[in-house]
């Protein structure tokens, strides 16, 4: 047990190597922090140095997850025309290149053989199922049903020639099929045996499970999950775990140890506790891990993979320990010293005890645990049987019309070639190609639409001098709101920028308990901003805070009280019946209940009607989390300048600029934060928009900008606001400050926004089965409002489920094009950015965020249970940190099924309105972007700023997009295009809206 005694490795080195291996393996853990702040990221971030195709295959192998959708799903898409035969032919041709024409065993072309496998379902049953299929189904009596008519006729003609015309078709078919199968079987017997590498599991648990069907994790996990949950709990348990300040391992050992006496029932555990405690004292958790590795008999060479497999056994919990170890500031309430090493050490200790108990009970008393484990038989490698290999050939032979005699005539080399080709084109390869075809179809549709729209826009031209400008987040959920706004108010211009609008801050609203960071997760804000009441409103704010606090304390007392013994008795027996009123109201009439709640709150204690952000730098106040309170005027000027430059409107500001952040408020939704603004780090971007507007209106800031040559006209006013993507509410801030001259314009914009959000709600409702398609827009708005308040609603909104493309460029290039809420829209004006500096900073910020969202949805959709969080229905919030299935499971990371069910998993298609050379230069200069593009984690194309030509960057080369269709669907308005249709819709030109026009495109 003692390494020093064995003298194999010097002690310090040993611990350092364990720490290193642990660190290395930890990269594979889910990078999801506490669920109250949900940040979208590429689920396979750890694999980003590989290409997408390699990564999904490698990760699929490692995690036991799916790399793509299932073959059956793609084939359904093939059947309904979502993938076409053209797509399959094109991706096969690209994939094989010249090798596609090579004949395989002289029987058929390689491409032909692969195509047959892709177009027809090739079933690969396991051995037992195959025996059943051969014995019980009609596989050996009839030809496949899905054969094309011509092929079938050819087979039957040949059969008649061989077996005579007088026999019945059924008899001929039976004889043909039988003979073909026999020939395949003979071929399979002649073929060289496939090389099979047995995967040797390193965890003793896996070996015990494989050899004897005994699962030691069934003993380990309940205890481990309870201890880990108790340790990390942020305030659900009435009685917190004692001794948490000393770390998980120490606190658990104290609980399990003689004082806690929990180990009394488990002598094996009791026997190991003193040793574990001593190791912990001597060398910390790593020493305890070292002792466990020794007892389990893990060789040095196996150490890293063993630790990896151990971590992945409960990867949700392990990942959370890792996250809290790296970012303790992200713990919602208590940041106890969580370390991954503690978690692994505890896990291995429990595993040793469980394995000792089980092996003693089932494998005999003799020897040490290590010896008993070493004696476990290895699971033999299973090569596929000849029947199995024959069945794979048999199915293809029918499709391709390869006859039995042709197979029998093959020489050994040809047989080997045939089987190597068939078996080399395995299920993952087939799914990869089907996926490429699936993506190709969508890519072509979009590129066609963009090119056609650029060549021949419809409708009235965009205003040269817009009446007002509205700036939104780049979020694809804002695409529909922008489109409707433009349809309603053709004189306005809409723009998109990352939804924190360059204002990175910790923000504390007037009612908030703590400041929260509102900026992308990669930034740690320096500045802290508070919302304060204005003038005589301050007293009212204080009064309100007092009464809210009293009510809050009462409610907390009630909630906790109902769960206790004596207070619970009084409260449930005496007041419980009253709960029937809120229950019936909230379940049956959610929207009404929400209104009543808000109404009563307003009547009971009205808050201050006027507040402001304390934006100016204050050196007298101490920030809670940031470094300084507020911004200096210079910092504000820089922020405003950068945003206006990014948007490309620095020199052409309208009299009114509305800046709208976004967020999402819903009930009964542990994943609520996943619907908020990603650019605000899973927060709500209203304060950022408000801060930006306040900065841009500040005369001192305007002075500074004017000195730098950026003139904001005195007639221009900025208004901040927030769009709630769940109930489609739009709120504008600080409307009391608007100059009188701008008021009528704000009124007009306000009316347009109200109409636009109503139509937006209507468009969103087409996706909700529960919203009938005849709903008029006003009722649709009521419907989405009800969803947000509904306790029973597991789909308050569909979030980013429709994301698929990202357009970086002038809105004029896409204005008037119905993009079905599928496009992130990032404003960028290619004129005046010849060096590409602005493009570089826009892409550097936006692309990783959009790709992260897109890839998280991809993986949660292709494997909803492995990469995603599974269905929400049994989710159970634990420790305020995450969700489990039921009462004790691994933490479920990723997105729940209800969020991704309508998602089409395709890689993000980025279309950049910039010259190809500029785009290339920008990508080459930024390693992070280059990795995303070269690894094919995103697809990227350059749209010629002066015309409709599109160049797709693929494998280092640029491919000119050749339009596959000559016309684009056209509709008078968005609603005319989507009404009555629930699925994803193709693009269409909305003739009522105003596209950019040729002049602007040429500008």
Partner 1 sequence: MISAELGRALVVGAVTLPAGLWLVMATAALVGAPLRERWLSPVARTIFSLTALALVSGAALLLPADAAAQAIDLGEWFAAGDHAFHLRLLADPPALIFASLCAVLCGVVAAFANRYLHREPGYHRFFALLALFATGILLIALAGSIEVVFAGWELVGLASALLIAFFHERPAPVESGLWALTVYRLTDLGLLGAAVLVHHFQGSGDFDVFLGTSWPIGQTPLSAGQAGAVALLLLFAALGKGALLPFSGWLPRAMEGPTPSSAIFYGALSIHAGAYLLLRAGPLLDAAPLAAALVALVGLATALHATMVGRVQTDIKSALAYASLTQVGIILVEIGVGLRWLPLLHIVGHATLRSLQILRAPSLLHDFHTLETAVGGHLPRTGGHLERLLPEGTRRRLYAASLARWRLDEFLIAAFVAPLRRLSAGLDRAERRWCALLGGPAADDHPVPEDTSKGGGDAR
Residues 510-539 that bind partner 1 (CB under 8 A): 511-514
Name the nearest CA neighbour of 466 among 728, 705, 815, 732.
815
Report the residue number, 225 or 495, with the smaller CB distance to partner 1. 225
State the Cα angle at 442 between 439 and 447, rounded to 5°.
120
Whichever of 534 and 665 has its CB closer to partner 1, that residue is 665
Nearer to partner 1, 43 or 878 (CB): 878
Burial readout 515-533 (b: 16 or more C-beta within 10 A, e: otherwise): bbbbbbbeeebebbbbbeb
Q: Are strands 909-913 and 805-809 parallel, antiparallel or unpaired?
A: parallel
Minimum CB separation from partner 1 for residue 206, in Å?
11
Closest to partner 1 by CB, 202 or 942: 202
Least Cβ distance, residue 73 to partner 1 (angstroms): 15
**Closer to partner 1 at the Cβ: 218 or 706?**
218
Looking at 562, 742, 931, 991, which residue binds partner 1 (CB under 8 A)?
Answer: 562
**757-776 positions binding partner 1, by CB under 8 A:** 769-770
Residue from 226, 617, 936, 970 binding partner 1 (CB under 8 A): 226
Contacting partner 1 (CB under 8 A), which of 106, 192, 242, 947?
A: 242
Token pair for 288? 């305890």
Interface with partner 1 by CB under 8 A: which range of 254-262, 499-507, 716-724, 945-953? 254-262
**Per-position x/- string for 204-223, each x denoting binding to partner 1 as judged by CB under 8 A, each - no binding:** --------xxxxxxxxxxxx
The answer to the question of residue 309 lying near partner 1 (CB under 8 A) is no
Q: Which residue has the tokens 């890519």?
A: 443
- Residue matched to tokens 């042709």: 406
Q: Which is nearer to partner 1, 255 or 451 (CB)?
A: 255
Strand 970-971 with 516-518, pairing: unpaired
- Is the CB of 157 or the CB of 559 nearer to partner 1? 559
- Binding to partner 1 by CB under 8 A, coded x per residue (else -) over 439-478, reads ----------------------------------------
| Per-residue 3-state assignment (H helix, E strand, C coil) for 805-865 | EEEEECHHHCCCEECCCCEEEEECCCCCCCCCHHHHHHHHHHHHHHHHHHHHHHHHHHCCC
The residue within the footprint of partner 1, chosen from 522, 584, 604, 621 (CB under 8 A), is: 584
SS3 at position 730:
strand
Q: How far is CA 683 from CA 60, 499, 509, 993, in A?
A: 32, 10, 13, 33
Nearest-CA neighbor of 75 among 11, 6, 29, 122? 122
Among 103, 271, 464, 873, binds partner 1 (CB under 8 A): 873
Query: Does residue 239 bind partner 1 (CB under 8 A)?
Result: yes
CA-closest candidate to residue 343, choices 302, 294, 275, 292: 292
353 touches 147 (CB < 8 A): no
Of the listed pieces 132-140, 189-197, 398-406, 881-889, which binds partner 1 according to CB under 8 A?
A: 881-889
Query: Does 119 sit near partner 1 (CB under 8 A)?
Result: no
CB of 894 to partner 1, least distance (A): 12
In the bound state with partner 1, the residue whose beta carbon lies nearer, of 576 and 972, is: 576
Nearest approach, Cβ of residue 320 and partner 1 (Å): 13
Determine if 738 is a binding residue for partner 1 (CB under 8 A).
no
Q: Which of 565, 927, 956, 967 binds partner 1 (CB under 8 A)?
A: 565
Give residues 792-831 in contact with partner 1 (rule: CB under 8 A).
Answer: 792-795
Q: Which of residues 537-556 bind partner 1 (CB under 8 A)?
A: 545, 548-549, 551-553, 555-556
Backbone angles phi, psi at 173, to 5 degrees: -60, -45
Q: Within 33-62, which residues bind partner 1 (CB under 8 A)?
A: 35-36
Tally the C-alpha atoms within 13 A of residue 841's C-alpha that lie toward its C-beta: 13
The CA-atom distances, in angstroms, between 271 and each of 255, 285, 356, 374, 765 are: 15, 18, 11, 21, 62
* Contact stretch for partner 1 (CB under 8 A) within 116-124, 573-581, 943-951, 984-992: 573-581
Positions in 655-684 near partner 1 (CB under 8 A): 667-670, 672
> Which ranges constitute the DSSP H helices of 331-477?
340-363, 369-374, 386-400, 404-408, 412-424, 427-455
Of the candidates 444, 398, 375, the residue with the CA atom closest to the CA atom of residue 211: 375
Minimum CB separation of residue 573 from partner 1 in Å reads 4
CA gap 640, 637 in Å, rounded: 5
Stretch that binds partner 1, among 257-265, 373-381, 931-939, 995-1003 (CB under 8 A): 257-265
Among 395, 724, 878, 939, binds partner 1 (CB under 8 A): 878
Which of 102, 178, 282, 563 is the binder for partner 1 (CB under 8 A)? Answer: 563
In the complex, what is the shortest distance from the CB of residue 351 to partner 1, in angstroms, rounded to a whole number?
Answer: 12
Q: Which is nearer to partner 1, 45 or 601 (CB)?
A: 601
CA quadruple 44, 47, 50, 56: dihedral positive or negative? negative
Contact pick of 571, 729, 779, 976 for partner 1 (by CB under 8 A): 571
Distance, in Å, from the CA atom of 940 to the CA atom of 847, rounded to the nearest integer, reads 10
Cβ proximity to partner 1: between 146 and 511 the closer is 511
Task: Work out how close the CB of 766 gets to partner 1 at its nearest, in angstroms, rounded to a whole number.
Answer: 16
Residues 6+ apart with CB under 8 A from 568: 561, 562
Beta carbon nearer to partner 1, 194 or 364: 364
3-state secondary structure of 109: strand
Do residues 397 and 410 make contact, with C-beta atoms less than 8 angstroms apart? Answer: no
Name which of 7, 27, 6 is nearest 304 in CA terms: 27
Among 371-379, 499-507, 835-843, 879-887, the segment contacting partner 1 (CB under 8 A): 879-887
CB of 1001 to partner 1, least distance (A): 43
- Residue 772: CB partners within 8 Å, gap ≥ 6? none
Task: Check residue 604 for interaction with partner 1 (CB under 8 A).
Answer: no
Q: Are 990 and 818 in contact (CB under 8 A)?
A: yes
Site for partner 1 in 890-949 (CB under 8 A): 890, 892, 898, 901
Residues 362-401 that bind partner 1 (CB under 8 A): 362
Answer yes or no whether residue 703 interacts with partner 1 by CB under 8 A: no
Q: H helices within 213-302, ranges in order?
A: 217-232, 248-256, 267-296
Among 81, 97, 886, 956, binds partner 1 (CB under 8 A): 886
- Indicate whether 240 belongs to the interface with partner 1 (CB under 8 A): yes
- Total residues at interface with partner 1 (CB under 8 A): 112
Q: Does the footprint of partner 1 cover residue 633 (CB under 8 A)? A: no
Site membership for partner 1, residue 560 (CB under 8 A): yes
Burial 897-936 (b: 16+ CB within 10 A, else e): bbbbeebbbbbbbbbbbbbbebbbbbbeebeebebbbebb
Termini Cα distance of the chain: 76
**Nearest residue (CB) to partner 1, 69 versus 227:** 227
Contacts of 956 (CB under 8 A, 6+ apart): 934
- Figure out which of the listed residues 6, 259, 299, 736 binds partner 1, where binding follows CB under 8 A: 259
- State the SS3 of 950-982: EEEEECCEEEECCCCCCCCCEECCHHHHHCCCC
**Contact pick of 89, 93, 865, 998 for partner 1 (by CB under 8 A):** 865
- Rounded least distance, CB 334 to partner 1, Å: 9
Shortest distance in whole angstroms from residue 564 CB to partner 1: 7
Work out the burial of residue 11: count CB atoms within 10 Å of its CB; fewer than 13 is exposed, 13-18 middle, 19 or more buried.
middle
Site for partner 1 in 322-361 (CB under 8 A): 333, 358
User: Which member of 57, 255, 900, 988 binds partner 1 (CB under 8 A)?
Assistant: 255
């Amino acid at each position: 047990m003692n390494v020093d005694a064995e003298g194999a490795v010097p002690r310090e080195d040993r611990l350092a190597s364990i720490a290193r291996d642990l660190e290395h393996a930890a990269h594979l853990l889910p990078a999801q922090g506490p669920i109250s702040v949900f940040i979208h990221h590429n689920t396979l971030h750890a694999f980003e140095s590989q290409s997408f195709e390699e990564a999904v295959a490698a990760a699929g192998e490692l995690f036991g997850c799916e790399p793509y959708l299932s073959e059956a799903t793609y084939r359904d898409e093939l059947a309904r025309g979502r993938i076409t035969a053209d797509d399959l032919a094109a991706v096969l041709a690209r994939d094989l290149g010249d090798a596609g024409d090579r004949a395989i065993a002289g029987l058929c072309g390689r491409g032909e053989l692969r195509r047959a496998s892709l177009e027809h379902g090739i079933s690969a049953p396991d051995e037992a199922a195959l025996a059943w299929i051969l014995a019980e189904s009609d596989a050996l009596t009839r030809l496949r049903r899905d054969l094309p008519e011509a092929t079938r006729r050819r087979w039957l003609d040949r059969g008649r020639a061989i077996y005579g015309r007088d026999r019945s078709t059924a008899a001929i078919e039976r004889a043909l099929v039988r003979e073909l199968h026999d020939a395949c079987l003979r071929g399979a017997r002649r073929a060289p045996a496939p090389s099979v590498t047995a995967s040797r599991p390193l965890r003793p648990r896996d070996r015990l499970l494989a050899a004897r069907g005994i699962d030691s994790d069934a003993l380990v996990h309940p205890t481990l999950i309870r201890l880990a949950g108790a340790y990390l709990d942020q305030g659900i348990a009435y009685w917190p775990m004692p001794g948490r300040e000393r770390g998980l391992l120490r606190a658990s050992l104290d609980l399990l140890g003689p004082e806690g006496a929990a180990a009394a029932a488990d002598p094996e555990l009791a026997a190991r506790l003193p040793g574990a405690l001593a190791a912990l004292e001597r060398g910390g958790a790593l020493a305890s891990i070292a002792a466990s590795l020794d007892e389990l008999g893990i060789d040095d060479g196996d150490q890293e993979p063993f630790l990896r497999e151990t971590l992945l056994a409960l990867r949700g919990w392990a990942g959370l320990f890792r996250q809290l170890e790296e970012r303790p500031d992200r713990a919602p309430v208590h940041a106890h010293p969580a370390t991954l090493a503690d978690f692994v050490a505890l896990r291995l200790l429990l595993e040793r005890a469980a394995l000792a108990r089980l092996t003693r009970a089932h494998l005999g008393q003799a020897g040490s645990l290590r010896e008993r484990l070493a004696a476990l038989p290895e699971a033999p490698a299973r090569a596929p049987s000849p029947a199995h290999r024959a069945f794979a050939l048999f199915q293809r032979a029918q499709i391709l019309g390869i006859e039995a005699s042709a197979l029998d005539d093959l020489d050994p080399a040809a047989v080997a070639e045939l089987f190597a080709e068939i078996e080399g084109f395995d299920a993952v390869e087939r799914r990869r190609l089907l996926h490429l075809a699936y993506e190709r179809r969508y890519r072509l549709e979009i590129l066609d639409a963009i090119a056609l729209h650029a060549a021949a826009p419809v409708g009235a031209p965009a205003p040269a001098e817009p009446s007002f400008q509205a700036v939104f987040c780049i979020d694809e959920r804002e695409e529909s709101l922008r489109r409707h706004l433009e349809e309603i108010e053709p004189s306005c211009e809409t723009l998109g920028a990352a939804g924190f609008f360059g204002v990175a801050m910790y923000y504390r609203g007037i009612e908030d308990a703590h400041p929260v960071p509102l900026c992308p997760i990669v930034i740690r804000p320096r500045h802290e901003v508070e919302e304060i009441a204005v003038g005589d409103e301050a007293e009212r704010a204080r009064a309100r805070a007092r009464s809210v606090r009293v009510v809050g304390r009462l409610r907390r007392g009630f909630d906790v009280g109902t769960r206790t013994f004596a207070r619970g008795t009084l409260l449930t027996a005496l007041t419980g019946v009253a709960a029937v009123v809120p229950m019936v109201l909230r379940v049956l009439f959610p929207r009404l209940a929400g209104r009543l709640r808000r109404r009563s709150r307003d009547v009971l204690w009205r808050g201050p009607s006027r507040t402001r952000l304390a934006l100016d730098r204050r050196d007298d106040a101490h920030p809670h989390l940031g470094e300084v309170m507020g911004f200096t005027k210079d910092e504000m000027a820089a922020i405003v300048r950068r945003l206006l430059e990014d948007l490309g409107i620095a020199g052409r500001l309208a009299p009114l600029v509305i800046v709208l952040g976004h967020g999402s408020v819903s009930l009964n939704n542990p994943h609520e934060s996943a619907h908020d603004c990603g650019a605000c780090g899973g927060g709500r971007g209203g304060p950022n928009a408000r801060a930006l507007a306040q900065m841009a209106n500040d005369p001192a800031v305007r002075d500074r900008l004017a000195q730098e040559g950026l003139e904001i006209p005195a007639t221009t006013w900025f208004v901040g606001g927030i769009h709630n993507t769940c109930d489609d509410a739009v709120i504008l801030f600080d409307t009391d400050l608007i100059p009188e001259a701008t008021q009528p314009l704000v009124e007009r914009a306000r009316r347009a926004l109200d109409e636009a959000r109503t139509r937006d709600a209507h468009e969103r409702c087409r996706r909700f089965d529960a919203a009938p398609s005849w709903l008029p827009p006003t009722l649709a708005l009521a419907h989405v409002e009800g969803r947000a308040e509904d306790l029973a609603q597991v789909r308050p909104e569909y979030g980013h489920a429709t994301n698929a493309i990202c357009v970086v460029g002038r809105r004029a290039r896409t204005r008037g094009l119905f993009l079905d809420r599928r496009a992130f829209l990032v404003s960028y004006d290619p004129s005046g950015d010849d060096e590409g500096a602005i493009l570089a900073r826009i892409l550097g910020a936006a692309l990783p965020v959009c790709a992260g969202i897109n890839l998280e949805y991809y993986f949660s959709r292709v494997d909803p249970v492995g990469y995603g969080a599974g269905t929400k229905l049994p989710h159970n919030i634990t420790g305020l940190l995450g969700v489990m299935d039921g009462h004790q499971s691994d933490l479920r990371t990723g997105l729940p099924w209800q969020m991704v069910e309508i998602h089409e998993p395709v890689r993000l298609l980025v279309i950049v309105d910039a010259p190809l050379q500029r785009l290339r230069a920008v990508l080459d200069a930024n390693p992070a972007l280059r990795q995303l593009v070269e690894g094919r984690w995103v697809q990227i194309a350059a749209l010629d700023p002066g015309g409709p030509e599109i160049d797709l960057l693929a494998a280092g080369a640029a491919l000119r997009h050749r339009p596959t269709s000559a016309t684009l669907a056209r509709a008078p308005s968005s609603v005319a295009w989507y009404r009555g249709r629930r699925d994803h819709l193709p693009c269409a030109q909305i003739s009522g809206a105003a596209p950019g026009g040729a002049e602007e495109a040429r500008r």
